[in-house]
């Protein structure tokens, strides 16, 4: 039973536009959420995180929004660039910053020039 | 030394054999986790070591075992290999701070035939 779900396997966006990647979770014990980016033949790279006590965290072009009541989070990339093309994984932790990570299946983002 | 290095990058083993995968990390990164990523799936947590002791384990059988050494390197051992063990195995480390920036290696691609 998947506790972290990324229901869109792929997303295609035009360069300069906004990319919105979505993630749903089922376990209300999750209190820390992260997004990772993965290029082929490389390990996942940490992008941005958010604690359950916040509803928004911003870092440059990347913003993560958390809606606890809906058990939903999203990653916004503005503006999207061709170099952002990668697989994006949503991950959650039940143990704050000390716990293990539970990942979704990923969304493949393609940013077209 | 920076980054997380995993070896070997690729490996082919026969069903029933045993395998050892290795990971070396940055100095001071005293937490190491191992993940299994099957094709089309997100990484799945195997176990975590902190100061050479296992302090967390996912839903994997005992034939998956590990070690962490004083020099921050780590091993993942899998006995009695099964075909379903074919996957990308990722090592992730982080420093002893509250920041949740896990650094992942590029992984070892294991194929069991």
SS3 labels along chain A: CCCEECCCCEEEEECCCCEEEEEEECCCCCCEEEEEEECCCCCCEEEEEEECCCCEEEECCEEEEEECCCCEEEEEECCCCHHHCEEEEEEEECCHHHCCCEECCCEEEEEEC
Q: Is the pLDDT of residue A55 over 90?
A: yes
Per the model's pLDDT, the better-predicted residue between B56 and B1 turns out to be B56
* B60 lies within 8 A of chain A by CB: no
In this prediction, residue B97 carries a pLDDT of 67
Region A74-88 average pLDDT: 97
* B59 lies within 8 A of chain A by CB: no
Mutation target to probe the B interface, by most B beta carbons within 10 A, among A23, A44, A49 is A44
Q: Which three-class secondary structure state does DSSP give residue B4?
A: coil
- Determine which of A40-44, A68-72, A85-89, B24-28 has the lowest per-residue pLDDT on average: B24-28
Whether A41 and B41 lie within 8 Å, measured CB to CB? no
Whether A100 and B4 lie within 8 Å, measured CB to CB? no
- Determine the distance in angstroms separating the CA of A100 from the nearest CA of chain B, rounded to an integer: 7
Nearest residue to B92 via CA among B27, B30, B28, B34: B34
- Determine the distance in angstroms separating the CA of B26 from the nearest CA of chain A, rounded to an integer: 15
Region B14-33 average pLDDT: 91
In this prediction, residue B1 carries a pLDDT of 43
Of B40, B90, B98, which is closest to A105 when you measure between CB atoms?
A: B40
* A111 lies within 8 A of chain B by CB: no
Per-residue confidence band for A95, with pLDDT thresholds at 50, 70 and 90: confident
* A104 lies within 8 A of chain B by CB: yes
Per-residue confidence band for A3, with pLDDT thresholds at 50, 70 and 90: very high
Of A32, A43, A105, which is closest to B104 when you measure between CB atoms?
A: A43
Q: What chain B residue is nearest to A51 in terms of C-alpha separation?
A: B100
If you average pLDDT over every residue of chain A, what do you get?
94
- Determine which of A33-37, A70-74, A94-98, B12-16 has the lowest per-residue pLDDT on average: A94-98
Sign of CA dihedral B81, B85, B87, B90: negative
């Amino acid at each position: 039973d998947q506790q972290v779900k990324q229901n869109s396997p792929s997303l295609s966006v035009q360069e300069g536009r906004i990319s919105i990647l979505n993630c749903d979770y089922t376990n209300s014990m999750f209190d820390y959420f992260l997004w990772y980016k993965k290029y082929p033949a490389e390990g996942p790279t940490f992008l941005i995180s958010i604690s359950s006590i916040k509803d928004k965290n911003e870092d440059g072009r990347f913003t993560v929004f958390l809606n606890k009541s809906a058990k939903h989070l999203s990653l916004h990339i503005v503006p999207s660039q061709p170099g952002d093309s990668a697989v994006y994984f949503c991950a959650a932790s039940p143990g704050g910053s000390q716990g293990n990570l539970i990942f979704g299946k990923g969304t493949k983002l393609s940013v077209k020039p | 030394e920076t980054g997380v290095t995993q070896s070997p990058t690729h490996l082919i083993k026969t069903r029933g054999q045993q395998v050892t995968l290795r990971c070396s990390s940055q100095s001071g990164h005293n937490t190491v986790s191992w993940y299994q990523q099957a094709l089309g799936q997100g990484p799945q947590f195997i176990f975590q070591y902190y100061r050479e002791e296992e302090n967390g384990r996912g839903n994997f059988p005992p034939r998956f075992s590990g070690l962490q050494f004083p020099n921050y390197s780590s091993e993942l051992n899998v006995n009695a290999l099964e075909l379903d063990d074919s996957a990308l195995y990722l090592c992730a480390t982080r420093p002893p701070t509250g920041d949740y920036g896990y650094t992942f290696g590029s992984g070892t691609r294991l194929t069991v035939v």
